[in-house]
Structure 1
Amino acid sequence: MPEKLRKWWKRLASEDGAYTVEASIIFPVVFYCCLAMLFFAMLMFQHVMTSHAATLAAERGAAFWDNSYKDATTGSYPVGQQDGLYWRMLDDYMLDRLLGVVTGSVTNEVSLPVSSDSASLPEKKLIRAGRLLPPIFHGEMKFDNIAIERKVTVSLERPLYQTAFERLTRRRISGEGGASAAVVEPVEFIRSVEFARYMSTKLAQWNKKGISNEQAADTIKRAAK
């Protein structure tokens, strides 16, 4: 019995076949770790690309907000091409805010990829910026107008290789990204402040004559068109 035990212990302590056993255990672990790292790298790449596209679209939309005829890359525009003299007062609802007709935030929104045109000027500007994105991106572009704060917000998602990854993870995975850019017009801000001071004085005079804010807004809009 002790002789058999010694032989069994000797075979157990022997290194014969150890390489085969270690390879059969370690190689699958290393292989699956490499697959997981590759999957994670692809996922991060998609997130970075989507965030970059959202940032680019938001900045372009804010850059030519003062003139929708501007070139998206150079900022140049044909001489005499502009959105009209009173678009800030009418299309951006500055007049309605001054007269108290519109309160709170005003939001214009378009879906991506862009499939149709719009009649309103803010949505036309959003559509023009959205058409610069590749059609593989899905999401939305919004223009938030909160009186003195105006910004373009972009939310995008780019589906990954859905068939393969859905089979692997049993769920839908997409690379999401978002960005926002402020519409900044320092000179127009100063003019808007002066216009607000002037309109507050005129509005007080009109109110004394029995003219309501809505009537005053309609009169000014008809004169501006």
Structure 2
Amino acid sequence: MPIRISKTTAQLYPVRQVRRPAVHRKPKRNSLATSEQGSFTLEASLVFPVILMCTVTLLFLGMYVYQRVFVQQMARSTAERLAFTWDNSHKDIVTGNFNPSKSDGLYWRLTQDNISDLFGMLTGSGSSQIQLPALAANGQVERKLAKASVLLPQGITGTAKFVNYVLDRQIEVKLNKSYIIPPFVDKWLHVNKTSATGISHIVDPIELIRLTDITRTYFQTIKGRISPQKAKEALIEPEYGDLAGPEVTIKSERQAAAYLKKLVGGKEVVLETVSGLSRTVDALDARGIAHQAFYSMTEFQLRREQMPKDIELLKQGTQVKGIVWHFFKKDASGKEMPSSSFRKELESKGIVVVIHN
């Protein structure tokens, strides 16, 4: 509640007024040199472009290093895949799968692998090199190198090179990929592409064994007695390059048995089972494997007559070490072939089933 002072009280007790001393202030200076207003904005405008350029430069430098590592890995893996599939041009360069009936021939290492002569010194006959990616190539070596185009992604180019030093065969892959960067970054880094080189050595145990054996056994014997040209002429490729052999037409049980004897190098024998039954084997090979040819017999006859005897021979284990049934089909439809259930039954009893087309 406010206190009220009466007029009489104010006259008795007068209020003394106190004067405050005057404060003299200095006048403000509006000089730009001494003012701190806007200093942060000015400093930021000067430093930010430098920080931005450094950040962008580091970003493009990191991208360049990544691309270079990628191209280097691509070059190494391409060289390794070429070396791995070098022994057969029909191999898939990605998986290594191939059809066993397709090959480059028996003497491709001597006639189609950049070897100058049959018994040459330890020097190569030059090198083969192609540009990647390659749409077509001439020659066996060039076609093998051209398979590397499948592995290269779009935008990568380069070369693939093969060098044969007889004891050391090398695959060299050089790849390039363009690298686009801003002009001001290029002034600092001076790079407009990434390059990498991959080298892989071809390791072929089969060739090493053959060369060692032929050098140890025949080199001293035929040295100076035959010219390199005549030696090359003596290397005749097999008549059936697909390893399938000549085509044979089977028209009877007797003809199938004769073909089987020739195929496995066996002879016809008559065996006696434990129960006293007689069993005629079409071809018993040198390893004790009994081979039987079937052309016109039905599954009922095989279950009743042949299968019990062979099961007894297998259980006995003294006269034969194994039994193989060879089925020859009469026509392309394969109607005379054993059914899948009968084939599984034979295999469960230990009888191997071979089907001839």
TM range (shorter): 0.7 to 0.9
Aligned twin of 2:346: none
Aligned twin of 1:24: 45
Asked if the contact 2:115/2:125 (under 8 Å) is kept, the reply is: no
Q: 2:231 aligns with which of 216, 220, 224?
A: 220
* Aligned pairs (5 A) from 1:38-77: 38-77=59-98
CA deviation after TM superposition for structure 1 residue 172, in Å: 6.6
Secondary structure at 1:128 match in 2: helix
Secondary structure at 2:223 match in 1: helix
AA aligned to 1:185 is D
* Aligned pairs (5 A) from 1:125-204: 125-161=144-180, 165=182, 169=186, 173-204=192-223
Q: 1:106 aligns with which of 108, 115, 126?
A: 126
Asked if the contact 2:172/2:200 (under 8 Å) is kept, the reply is: yes
Gaps of 5+ in 1: none
CA-to-partner distance for each residue in 1:61-114, whole Å, 9 max, x for gaps? 0010011111223222112111110001211245716244x8446311111121
Secondary structure at 2:232 match in 1: helix
Secondary structure at 1:195 match in 2: helix
Asked if the contact 1:130/1:141 (under 8 Å) is kept, the reply is: no
Change (3 A) 1:72 1:115: closer
Alignment length (residue pairs): 209
CA-to-partner distance for each residue in 1:154-184, whole Å, 9 max, x for gaps? 00101123xx646863777111111111101
TM-score computed with the length of structure 2 as normaliser: 0.53
C-alpha distance in structure 2 between counterparts of 1:198 and 1:94, whole Å: 21
Secondary structure at 2:117 match in 1: helix
Identity among equivalent pairs (%): 31
CA deviation after TM superposition for structure 1 residue 220, in Å: 2.1
C-alpha distance in structure 2 between counterparts of 1:219 and 1:115, whole Å: 36
C-alpha distance in structure 1 between counterparts of 2:218 and 2:34, whole Å: 96
Aligned twin of 1:123: 142
Secondary structure at 2:136 match in 1: coil
Does the alignment pair 1:82 with 2:103?
Answer: yes
Change (3 A) 1:190 1:94: farther
CA-to-partner distance for each residue in 1:29-77, whole Å, 9 max, x for gaps? 1110111011111211221121121112101100100111112232221
C-alpha distance in structure 2 between counterparts of 1:39 and 1:97, whole Å: 54
CA deviation after TM superposition for structure 1 residue 135, in Å: 4.1
For the pair shown, the structure with the greater C-alpha radius of gyration is 2
Asked if the contact 1:62/1:181 (under 8 Å) is kept, the reply is: yes
Gaps of 5+ in 2: 1-25, 237-357
C-alpha distance in structure 2 between counterparts of 1:93 and 1:42, whole Å: 41
Instruction: Tell me whether 30-39 or 125-134 shows the greater mean CA deviation.
Output: 125-134
Secondary structure at 1:114 match in 2: coil
C-alpha distance in structure 1 between counterparts of 2:125 and 2:120, whole Å: 15
AA aligned to 1:174 is K
